[in-house]
């Protein structure tokens, strides 16, 4: 049987509590692949993770061949020869925290983890960053991971695509599978652009069915603010849905999906993205190589929205450079 070694940070959190089960049930790496799982979190959380491991033991997960627990000070063990890393843990934005404080806290976390990936993981390791701000956290990690190609680092925007697909399906009163060609551009943030201009419903352009100005003024902000709306309703941030998207993203990366999906990768210049930032776009694999699906056209309005999100990412990059976590 095949075997994969996987590390997951933020293992004591709510996203991990769901994601670990998806991984252990075979949904990510396949039902023919055993998983050696390394759970990582800050020292204070480790006793609770021991309880989670007891639950895993009690769950008859026959693909889970081994589980170990590591503090974030033991990345040499946690990342040793791993094939895949889920970087889920991030410092949360607490009340009263400045944006700069947030970038500083996370800059240190993702610099350290990037360095450890470069030092200990397999050179073929694939890394999915879920912890926010995920694009910039991903940029920091890949910049410090020596000997690992930058295009093996990904930041998650598939949750945004799922959110957008559902809302368009609802507006068109069709099942979600009837919505196609809908992808997220830019940053996983309130500036993201869910590109309704190329989206199709039952192979017809959405903009031939729904009013374009309504989509701009209602649909786009709804997707941009969906995370906040979930927090308001649940009293805590998206967990199960984030885990679902993370599992699907990792599965698409691992299985080299030939169908495009939304994910953020280091800019290759497609869709006029500036160099040196991690941007979302449709992405797919062909002949064993991942690449941006670059066949969509954008009108001036769409281009302006995408550009706005690029600008935000450039600002995040500048802030992180000023904090010393990236070279210019």
Q: Which residues are catalytically annotated?
A: 188
221 binds a copy of itself (CB under 8 A): no
Q: Verify cis geometry, omega within 30 degrees of 0, for the bond prior to 133.
A: yes
CB atoms within 10 A of CB 203: 8
248 binds a copy of itself (CB under 8 A): yes
233 binds a copy of itself (CB under 8 A): yes
314 binds a copy of itself (CB under 8 A): no
Q: Are strands 261-266 and 153-156 parallel, antiparallel or unpaired?
A: antiparallel
Which residues in the 16-45 window bind a copy of itself by CB under 8 A? 17-18, 21
Identify the residue among 97, 176, 314, 322 touching a copy of itself (CB under 8 A). Answer: 176
228 binds a copy of itself (CB under 8 A): no
Identity of the residue, 56 or 323, whose beta carbon is nearer to a copy of itself in the bound complex: 56
Name the region of 3 (left: φ>0; alpha: ψ -120 to 50; beta: rest): beta
96 binds a copy of itself (CB under 8 A): no
Name the region of 30 (left: φ>0; alpha: ψ -120 to 50; beta: rest): left
Identify the residue among 42, 56, 190, 209 touching a copy of itself (CB under 8 A). Answer: 56
234 binds a copy of itself (CB under 8 A): yes
Identity of the residue, 162 or 325, whose beta carbon is nearer to a copy of itself in the bound complex: 162
CB 306 within 8 A of CB 197: no
**In the structure encoding, which two tokens stand for residue 276, read together?**
């040196």
Which residues in the 249-308 window bind a copy of itself by CB under 8 A? none
Q: Are strands 153-156 and 289-292 parallel, antiparallel or unpaired?
A: unpaired
Question: What are the E-state strand segments in 10-142?
Answer: 33-41, 64-71, 84-87, 126-129
Residues within the interface to a copy of itself (CB under 8 A): 17-18, 21, 47-48, 50-52, 54-60, 62, 159, 162-163, 165-166, 170, 175-177, 226, 229-230, 232-235, 238-241, 244-245, 248
């Amino acid at each position: 049987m095949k075997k994969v070694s996987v590390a997951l940070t933020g293992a004591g959190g709510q996203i991990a509590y769901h994601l670990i089960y998806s991984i252990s049930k075979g949904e990510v790496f396949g039902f023919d692949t055993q998983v050696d799982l390394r759970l990582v979190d800050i020292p204070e959380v480790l006793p609770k993770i021991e309880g989670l491991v007891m639950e895993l033991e009690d769950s008859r997960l026959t693909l889970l061949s081994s589980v170990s627990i590591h503090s974030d000070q033991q990345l040499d063990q946690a990342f040793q020869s791993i094939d895949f890393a889920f970087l889920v843990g991030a410092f949360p934005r607490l009340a009263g925290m400045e944006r700069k404080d947030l970038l500083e806290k996370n800059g240190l976390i993702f610099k350290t983890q990037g360095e450890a990936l470069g030092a200990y993981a397999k050179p073929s390791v694939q890394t999915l960053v879920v912890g926010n701000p995920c694009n910039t956290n991903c940029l920091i990690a890949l910049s410090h991971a020596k000997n690992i190609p930058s295009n093996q680092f990904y930041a998650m925007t598939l949750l945004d695509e799922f959110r957008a697909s559902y809302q368009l399906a609802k507006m068109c009163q069709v099942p979600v599978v009837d919505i196609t060609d809908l992808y997220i551009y830019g940053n996983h943030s309130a500036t993201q652009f869910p590109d309704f201009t190329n989206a199709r419903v039952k192979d017809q352009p959405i903009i031939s069915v729904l009013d374009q100005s309504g989509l701009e003024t209602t649909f786009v902000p709804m997707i941009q603010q969906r995370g906040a709306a979930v927090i308001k309703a649940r009293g805590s941030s998206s967990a199960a849905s984030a885990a679902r998207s993370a599992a699907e993203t990792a599965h698409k990366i691992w299985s080299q999906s030939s169908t495009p999906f939304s994910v953020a990768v280091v800019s290759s210049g497609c869709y006029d993205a500036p160099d040196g930032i991690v941007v979302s776009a449709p992405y797919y694999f062909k002949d064993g190589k991942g690449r941006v699906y670059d066949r969509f056209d954008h009108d001036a309005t769409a281009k302006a929205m995408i550009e706005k999100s690029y600008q935000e990412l450039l600002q995040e990059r500048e802030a992180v450079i000023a904090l010393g976590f990236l070279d210019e």
